[in-house]
Amino acid sequence: MSVSVLGVRHHGPGSARAVRRELERLRPDVILIEGPPEADALVTHAPGLEPPVALLAHVPGAPARAAFWPFAEFSPEWQAIRYGTSAGVPVRFCDLPAAHSLADAPPEADPGGPEPGTEPPGTAAPAGVTPGTAVPGGGAGPDGVAPGGPGAGAAVTGMRGDPIGALAGAAGYDDPERWWEDVVEHRGGDTPFEVIAEAMAAVREGYRPDEREARREAYMRKTLRAAIKQGFGRIAVVCGAWHVPALTGPLPSVTADNAVLRGLSKVKAELTWVPWTYGRLASWSGYGAGITSPGWYHHLFDTPDRPVERWLAAAAAVLRDEGLAVSSAHVIESVRLAGSLAALRGRPLAGLGEVTEAARAVLCEGDDLAVELIQRRMVVGDRLGHVSDGTPMVPLQRDLRDRQRRLKLRPEALDREIDLDLRKPLDLDRSHLLHRLRLLGVGWGTPVRARGKGTFRETWTLQWRPEHDLALIEHAALGTTVPSAAAQRAGDLAGAPSATLADLTSLVEQCLLADLPQALPGVLAALSAKAALDTDVTHLMAALPAMVRAHRYGDVRGTSADGLAVIVRSMLERICVGLPVAVTGLDDDAAADLLKHVDAVHSAVALLTDPPENTSPQRTAAPETAPSEETAAPEGAGPEETAAPEGAGPEERAASGAPPSGVARSEVVEEAGSAVSPRGRWMGTLRGISDRQDLHGLIEGRLTRILLDSGELDDAGDRMSRAMSRGQAPARAAAWVEGFLSGGGLLLVHDPRLLGLVDDWLTGLSGEQFVDVLPLLRRTFGGFAAPERRSIGERLRSAGRDDADREQDVDEHRAAAAVATVLSIIGGTDG
């Protein structure tokens, strides 16, 4: 019986080649790999997987308790798995079971800590750390490494520094990663495992592991003893180099290891394979047990012959694809420079640092943007793994995969922008799927503001990330298909006590975008109840635009929006009732905030269609006397709206279209029984407010402009004259001008009278008054487009020149006869 313990660096290309060669030489009867034993049954799926992939362990019903064990093509463990499956050798995992490690995780991830199954961002793991990750919320590395801890060999329980750092320092290196690459990764697969074991034994001398690490290593020894007991003669163990001394030499007794493992807490853990990305392997993405350059390591593993030359040639091709001029001479010189740098630094082979410096100096000619392009495309890479259809999945994952295949949307790690034409059935189905996934918290697609104005077009940016699989598993209990799960999720969100009016209106919009008619009635009922209870008019104004947009979706998507019209008109009625009170006593900031809501509501009202005439039996000619509060229908009421019963609660009043409790119908009805369009009701409200004398100048000016653009005013000039008269404070006049001109400066270009009024007001200000109002004026005119400012200046210059010309071109001799005639008509004397 022989046991060979191969200490490796996880995700190391040199270690991967060495493990493969050593296994082919040893021809073991069983292979033990550091990882959760629950994944033993998943090893058989490895031949159908395309790295990078990861083992995902999670606790059903508690998605925060999850961890990943990622593998790349150049991971030694992956090469051991591939050798075992191809040679028919049993492969088992020997680390602490996920059922125990996840039991120690908190129920919810620490918001301030790393993501589930991650390490602190920016901490590169030393050689020999496990591919499995720490539980959520932990600050230490997966092997109990505390970044920045004491030096190697310190006899402190549970604390150790970077063992590779200690060995590199002993060898005279200031960079542990560079030392490991020189002595292991760049040796062409000839890794001295015996020397690594001896070095790690020296580093661990006097070190006592903490409780978690002690349990992990005790379970490794337990698995090793079980393999020996089962009669395997040649056993190969592939683990992090740090654990080699714990598995060789004098081992603790069985009793001692059992005592360490006694009393472990346990949860039900489920494991599966999920796709992974090279971006997630890079340490800058937050996965501390990864590497900073997965693309470079993949290249080293795939290209053992002349890797530097081939790498720089590929970098030149990347730059050429972006339109940069890079010749073969550039590549030759960059290869020579990289080799010279490696020789000067005493390295056996140019590493990533040398080839990057050579590319920066020669290929990129010092351009940092070009270097960043190489870093993103090649050093990190955009590779996304793939799992086979036979891999265990929850029904929701499998349904999404089927839909991706049917809709021809392949998950990719690199950002990809797609344009959807909603008039085409395929693109419409794609849009529905992406919106449903967003409702489930799967942000595979991010909407991009469309460049065109057509409502039939959508633009998305797609990028698949490994955590999307975890989100699907988290929501697996909601349904077996994406539509059913999204509908259930919408219902849960609508019923949440913390849901605000804005949340519910956004949820209605999402339901229509995602085509979830089964979820819409419940969401609308919750929205109606919330709108009836909310007395803040600004909340209603903030919610109305989304509701109006949702009502319009049926015109483009063919989605039924029945029931929205009643709620929209009810909300608009409440806004019209409450707005006159809301505009009273506002300071500058409050007035500016309210105007944003006014503009949004005004744009939304323009999308509403007028109600059909004579469609409601309740709408009759208005009697001569005002109707009572109990019998009057609300102005603009729809066919379903009737008077709320006496004593009705907020929900019943909302459903019936009645105004909020405490508001008499006489306050919201201008012409009882007449069908008033939403636009007419809104414009009538604005017209009534604009005539008040207590308005803030900004609001009065903006309302005047809205009414003028809508054709509701014919005395805008007179209003401007009054607002800028000498009796008004200059600051209020400037605010009025700012509000009036906030819609753009073309009005001054095309209306000489208004331009003259503004010009006369400005020229009539004293020097001190002009300085006071200058900031407001600069903000107002600075918001105009450059052509508008240029046209206004030309108008003013032209007007001034015409006045001067008229004064200078008067011919008194030719005018004398006309003057005499006028004087004779009016009875004057001939002067």
Q: Does residue 468 have a pLDDT over 50?
A: yes
Q: What is the mean pLDDT of the chain?
A: 76
Q: Are 333 and 469 found together in one domain?
A: no
- Whether residue 815 is contained in a domain is answered as no
Q: Return d(Cα 133, Cα 148) in angstroms, integer.
A: 18
Q: Do 376 and 440 belong to one domain?
A: no
In angstroms, the CA 258 to CA 458 distance is: 61
- For residues 189 and 249, state if they share a domain: yes
For residue 147, pLDDT over 70 is answered with: no
Count of domains in the chain?
Answer: 4
Residue 287: what pLDDT?
Answer: 37
Decide if 401 is inside a domain.
Answer: no
Residues 6+ apart with CB under 8 A from 89: 28, 29, 30, 31, 83
| Residue 323 confidence (pLDDT) above 60 | yes
What radius of gyration, in Å, describes the C-alpha atoms of the chain?
A: 38
My answer on whether 272 and 314 are in the same domain is no
Q: Residues 684-709: what's their mean pLDDT?
A: 85
Q: Which residues form the domain of 423? A: 408-621+633-683
Instruction: Between 669 and 456, name the one with better pLDDT.
Output: 456
User: 816 in a domain, yes or no?
Assistant: no
Instruction: Give the tens place of pLDDT for each residue, 330-354.
Output: 999 999 999 999 899 888 888 888 9
Peptide bond into 192 cis (omega under 30): no
Average pLDDT rounded to a whole number, residues 639-667: 38
Scanning 322-444, the segments in alpha helix (DSSP H) are 328-344, 352-358, 368-374, 395-407, 425-439
Q: Is the model's pLDDT at 440 over the cut of 50?
A: yes
Based on the domain organization, do 255 and 318 belong to the same domain?
Answer: no
Q: For tokens 């063919």, what's the residue?
A: 558
Q: Given a cut of 80, is residue 690 above it in pLDDT?
A: yes
CB 532 within 8 A of CB 592: no
pLDDT, tens digit, for every residue of 588-599? Answer: 888 888 888 898
Work out the pLDDT band at 224, boundaries 50, 70, 90.
very high
**124 and 77, same domain (yes or no):** yes
pLDDT digits (tens, 9 = 90+) for 742-754: 766 676 777 777 7
The answer to whether position 554 is within a domain reads yes
d(CA 736, CA 590): 15
Judged against a pLDDT cut of 70, whether residue 265 lies above it is answered with: yes
Residues 643 and 603 in one domain: yes
- Residue 215's pLDDT band (cuts 50, 70, 90): very high
- Is residue 355 domain-shared with residue 413, that is, in the same domain? no
Q: Please tell me the predicted confidence (pLDDT) of residue 557.
A: 59
8-17, 158-167, 387-396, 725-734: least confidently modelled range: 158-167
511, 517, 474: which is closest to 490 by C-alpha?
Answer: 511
Give how far Cα 59 sits from Cα of 65, 250, 390, Å: 6, 37, 22
pLDDT tens digits along 46-101: 999 999 898 988 888 776 678 889 999 999 999 999 999 999 999 999 999 999 98
pLDDT band at 717 (very low <50, low <70, confident <90, very high): confident
Burial label for 328, CB within 10 Å (0-12, 13-18, 19+), is: exposed
Query: Does residue 367 carry a pLDDT above 80?
Result: yes
Report the C-alpha gap between 718 and 739 in whole angstroms.
16
**Residue 704 pLDDT exceeds 60:** yes
Q: How far is residue 509 CA from its own chain's centroid?
A: 18
Whose tokens are 């753009």? That residue is 744
Beta carbons within 8 Å of 290's beta carbon, 6+ residues apart: 11, 70, 124, 125, 280, 281, 282, 283
- Which of 285, 318, 346 is a domain's end point? 285
611-651 residue pLDDT tens: 544 433 333 333 333 333 333 333 333 333 333 433 344 33
Identify whether the C-beta of residue 515 lies closer than 8 Å to the C-beta of residue 508.
Answer: no
Are 233 and 319 members of one domain? no
The DSSP secondary structure of 576-598, one letter per residue, reads HHHHHHHTSS--HHHHHHHHHHH
Q: What is the pLDDT, as a whole number, of residue 105?
A: 56
Phi, psi of 107 (to 5 degrees): -55, -30
Strands 62-71 and 270-275: unpaired
> Residues near 438 by Cβ (< 8 Å), separated by ≥ 6?
445, 510, 514
Dmax over CA atoms of the chain, in Å, equals: 140
Question: If you average pLDDT over residues 706-711, what whole number do you get?
Answer: 82
Give a yes or no: residue 702 inside a domain.
no
| 325-329, 491-495, 810-814: segment of lowest average pLDDT | 810-814
10 Å CB burial of residue 825 (0-12, 13-18, 19+) is exposed
Is the torsion defined by CA of 118, 119, 124, 129 positive or negative? negative
Arithmetic mean of pLDDT, 270-298 = 74
Examine the pLDDT at 419 and tell me if it is beyond 60: yes
Residue at 386 is within a domain: no
307-331 mean pLDDT:
93
pLDDT tens digit string along 558-580? 555 566 777 788 788 888 888 88
Q: Does residue 516 sit within a domain?
A: yes
621 or 517, higher pLDDT: 517
SS3 of 639-663: the string is CCCCCCCCCCCHHHHHHHCCCCCCC
Band (pLDDT 50/70/90 cuts) for residue 667 is very low
d(CA 241, CA 163): 10
Q: What percent of the chain has pLDDT over 70?
A: 78
C-alpha atoms less than 13 angstroms from C-alpha of 77 in its C-beta half-sphere: 30
pLDDT of residue 816: 83
pLDDT above 90: percentage of residues in the chain: 24
Would residue 797 count as lying in a domain? Answer: yes
Give dist(CA 476, CA 496) in Å, integer.
19
Judgement on whether residues 617 and 722 belong to the same structural domain of the protein: no
CA gap 128, 295 in Å, rounded: 20
Which pLDDT score is estimated for 280?
A: 78
What is the 8-class DSSP label of residue 424? S
pLDDT for the residue 639:
34
Same domain, 139 and 13: yes
Q: Which residue, 250, 285, 320, sits at the end of a domain?
A: 285
Query: Interhelix angle for 537-557 vs 564-582, to 10°?
Result: 150
**What global pTM score does this model have?**
0.61
Contact 53, 274 (CB under 8 A): yes
Whether residue 278 is found in the same domain as residue 311: no
